[in-house]
Amino acid sequence: MSTLKSSSIDLKNISPMVKKTVKEWVKEVLAANRSEFRRDSVKSLYKRLNEALAKEYSDKGLEYVKEKFDELKPQIDFLASLFYCINDDLRNRQREMQLEVDWLTERLKRLLMALQASSLAQAVDTTFAREAYPLSEEMADLLWSLNERTVRTWDEMLASELPAMVREYFLLQGNRAIPWGWDLMRQILVNSGEESKIAAICSKFESPEDGDDFLHGRDFNYGLLDVRDEEFETALESLLEEVRSLVNSGAVEAGWALCPKDPPNLFMSSIPLIEGNWIDKKALAVLEWYQSILKMGYEIIRPEEENPVAWPIVLDKRTQDEEAVQGVIVKVEDFGILNKDEQYAIFIEAEERINSLGLQERIIDGRVYVCLADYFDSTGHLLCNEDFEMKDGIMISSWNRWIKERQSGECESGDRVYIGKFPASEMSCAINLRDIQRIPSLEEAFGLQEMREKCIVLSSKLKISSSSVPFDLREKGIEDGIYIYPCFGDDEPIRASLARWRDDAFNGLVRYFALYMATLTLSVNLFEAGDILFKDLENKVSLTISKILTLSSYYDDTFADLLDKFKTVKKLTWSDASPYGWAALFPKGFSVDLGALQKAAEASYMTYYDMYINMAHESLWATGSDL
């Protein structure tokens, strides 16, 4: 809708002579490159018009020329006023344009620096992941003892070892494996519409229909090009029965594991039990220590959750606050990590509490085991039945022993052992020697653990993503761990900072494109497509647009493209939950869409067109008809 004020000037019927005269005058003014002395300049415009009229109407007389001049003078005044208003406005906007580019630049730099710092923090984690975890001899002996009695539950075997054995069986029969990486690629291709690549994948299957089933996840999900899921699962069930028969016959020893729903570390998520009822006394003390830590209100974080033997980091909320970070100087000692000596004191209390329960004890392989049933029947214990699941399976040591015996005795086909028709191999335990750095001194072990934890906590403060989402962030619409932490000094997730940057860049581009289109349209419509801007202004708007487009390109290449890929492979959760769900933050997508930009600019440029027209009228009304 037009916002033009009423005027006696009919913009559609401005005299061609006026337009031509103003165009020549503007050319002269721009060549002089002076915007001052406007009154003298406009007088020269009047003179030009008089001369043009005198020449055009030389046979009409001076009186007619004067009448014609008086008739066209409002148009001359208006166009001169419009010329100066446009230039004045753009000159006034110069600082605004520069500040906007500078502000977008600095904000993007901060986002890029946060991404780089997060990558460096990830490198710290990777370094520690390769280093053996320091343990006291007491804890190293416990974990090694449990490791030697590791039980592989039936659920675990169905998820890992048994499918691998079935897959190897089919490969030995001449079936073909699906190339590595296709599992991930299919999710991308289905959404990309790249017909040639889709056709190339489908051509590897026995029929296009089979290829389509794979691409859409309906079938062929076990890694074989020519074995449907139903056939694979039938074979898997057959192998399971063969393994169960080994256990029932006593050839392989059955085992039981106590599985805490919230274990102290990854390794202790499955604690072997002797005869389904006897637990290592030291392992029970560790479980009680961990339960004590939780009941005392300490915060638990697991930055090394993939490391099977790493203990969680215990934080004391009373000392862990924003004072840990002041300016750019990080006080590592103020991170609020609970002192290892205090943690060990809690462990000693747990041991003393277990001793006071008077549980039945057995010595097995030099270690003390206690009766788990007695523990749960006693008074004063911290753990409850509801905190655990009891799962059965097979003893890995027994399985591996059976494999070795077959290899050295009955096996007739080289080193390969078969269970029925399926090839079998040894299973690996949860940990190996490389996972543990055995430290003789308890004090030294604590010192090394504390140093490691402080480095990891320090690096975690630089991360912008996480493998898990804290509960308080889930309440704010965050459902995945991508870009959930803020840039240094900000108080909102970096995904929100990205969304605001994208919106500000888009809106800035719309504004300056619309401004550019408005001045261009005025030039074409009222100044016969001539230049209407002083040299110091003629490139300001286009240069601002170019700079913001360059910044947007960096943003798209670094963030938007990556987030689009994450969305395609469902690594991020597309949710409109407020305020930080991805769809709530990016309802129009991650990138600065040039197509949407053009439409928005075309829809709004008349606002600036009308603004300049009104400014020209107001300037005339404020100063009189003579500039």
pLDDT of residue 17: 94
Q: What is the pLDDT of residues 284-325, one digit of tens each?
A: 999 999 999 999 999 998 888 888 999 999 998 655 444 443
β-pairing verdict for 133-136 and 299-301: unpaired
Q: What is the pLDDT of residues 186-207, one digit of tens each?
A: 877 777 777 888 888 899 999 9
Number of other CB atoms surrounding residue 23 within 10 Å: 19
Asked if the model's pLDDT at residue 106 lies above 90, the reply is yes
pLDDT of residue 469: 87
Q: What single string gives the DSSP state of each residue in 575-587? A: ---TTT-HHHH-T
| Cα–Cα distance measured from residue 157 to residue 270, given in angstroms and rounded to the nearest whole number | 14
Residue extents of the structural domains in the chain: 84-117+492-623, 131-175+227-460
Q: Is 317 helix (H, G, I), strand (E, B) or coil?
A: coil
Span 236-264, average pLDDT: 96
Does residue 579 have a cis peptide bond before it, meaning omega lies within 30 degrees of 0?
yes
Number of other CB atoms surrounding residue 24 within 10 Å: 15
Span 487-516, average pLDDT: 94
Residue 90 corresponds to which amino acid? L
pLDDT of residue 327: 39
| Cα–Cα distance measured from residue 7 to residue 233, given in angstroms and rounded to the nearest whole number | 83
Q: What is the pLDDT of residues 533-584, one digit of tens each?
A: 998 888 899 999 999 999 999 999 999 999 999 998 888 999 999 999 999 9
Cα 604 from chain centroid (whole Å): 33
| Cα–Cα distance measured from residue 285 to residue 379, given in angstroms and rounded to the nearest whole number | 16
Asked if the model's pLDDT at residue 429 lies above 90, the reply is no
Cα 271 from chain centroid (whole Å): 35
Asked if the model's pLDDT at residue 445 lies above 50, the reply is yes
| Cα–Cα distance measured from residue 167 to residue 425, given in angstroms and rounded to the nearest whole number | 13
Higher-pLDDT residue of 543 and 470 is: 543
Whether 283 contacts 271, CB under 8 Å: yes
Span 122-139, average pLDDT: 90
Q: How confident is the model at residue 490 (pLDDT cuts 50, 70, 90)?
A: confident
Residue identified by tokens 């001169």 is 80
β-pairing verdict for 133-136 and 436-439: parallel
Whether 105 contacts 551, CB under 8 Å: yes
Low-confidence winner among 268-277, 483-492, 595-604, 614-623 (lowest mean pLDDT)? 614-623
pLDDT of residue 407: 86
pLDDT of residue 324: 42
Whether 478 contacts 465, CB under 8 Å: no
Whether 332 contacts 458, CB under 8 Å: yes
| Cα–Cα distance measured from residue 621 to residue 81, given in angstroms and rounded to the nearest whole number | 11
Q: What is the pLDDT of residues 9-55, one digit of tens each?
A: 888 899 999 999 999 999 999 988 766 667 778 889 999 999 999 99
Q: What is the pLDDT of residues 328-372, one digit of tens each?
A: 333 445 578 999 999 999 999 999 999 999 999 999 999 999 999
Please return the burial class of 447, using the count of CB atoms within 10 Å of its CB with bins 0-12, 13-18 and 19+: middle
Give the single-character DSSP code of 136. E
Residue ranges in 461-539 assigned as alpha helix (H)? 471-474, 494-526
| Cα–Cα distance measured from residue 232 to residue 214, given in angstroms and rounded to the nearest whole number | 14
- Sheet of 361-364: strand order equals 278-280, 367-371, 361-364
Average per-residue pLDDT for the chain: 90
pLDDT of residue 321: 46
Q: How confident is the model at residue 409 (pLDDT cuts 50, 70, 90)?
A: low
β-pairing verdict for 361-364 and 367-371: antiparallel
Asked if the model's pLDDT at residue 326 lies above 70, the reply is no
Q: Is 347 helix (H, G, I), strand (E, B) or coil?
A: helix
Span 125-133, average pLDDT: 87
